[in-house]
Structure formats: C-alpha cells, structure tokens
Amino acid sequence: MTKIYDVVLNAPFGSQQGRITFVINGESLTGAIDGMGFKSKFNNGRIHGNNFEFSGEIKILLAKLKYSAKGILNGNLLSASVDTKYGTFSVTGSLISQS
C-alpha cells in the first residue's frame, strides 16, 4: 500500500511544506520525503498499527543532516516528531492519495 501526505514541518526558521510518501508492506515502511528543494529516501522504517518510525539522511547543499522520525497515523491525518542534532521538530499532514 502506498500513502502520500502533504505535510508541514514546524521549525524555528519557519514552517516548511513538503510531501511524505509511505510504502507499507506488512510492518515494513519505506518511502521518501520531498521538501525544501530536496528528496530523501528511507528504507528502514517500521509501522505497527497506526504508529510508525523511520530514519534517514537529508543532503542539503554540501551538508548531510541525519534525522529520526516517530509518529502516528490517525484516519487521514499524520502527526510526528523529527529528531535532529539541531533539535526536535513537529510535523503534521493530511492524506492526499492512497493506492
């Protein structure tokens, strides 16, 4: 199953819009994050019930930023927290496509 969410990352430098694609196969979660001019794929995620977690690395210009995300899917809504070396940020989103 593939689910695509329009999301907003709430960070100290302002709100940033993006998109998260989840590819769910049993409890395995892979996908990609698109936003702020970058695309980051992840393939190590897990989903159990409505709870999910995954981690990855975003390449921004010449720097790489590692992150880990944990959240919940509640109907058509997504809410998560993303941990980075610069702090923890909240993410909210809405389902726009499912197949």
- For residue 52 the two structure tokens come to 């999910």
User: Tens digit of pLDDT for each residue in 26-78?
Assistant: 999 999 999 877 889 999 999 999 999 999 998 877 788 899 999 999 999 99
Name the pTM for this structure.
Answer: 0.91
- For residue 67 the two structure tokens come to 């992150």
What domain range includes position 85? 2-98
In 10 A of CB 9, how many CB atoms?
A: 20
Q: How would residue 19 be classed by pLDDT, with cut points 50, 70 and 90? A: very high
CATH code where residue 57 lies? 2.40.128.120
Mean pLDDT of the chain: 93
Please count the structural domains in the chain. 1
**Residue 20 or 12, more confident:** 20
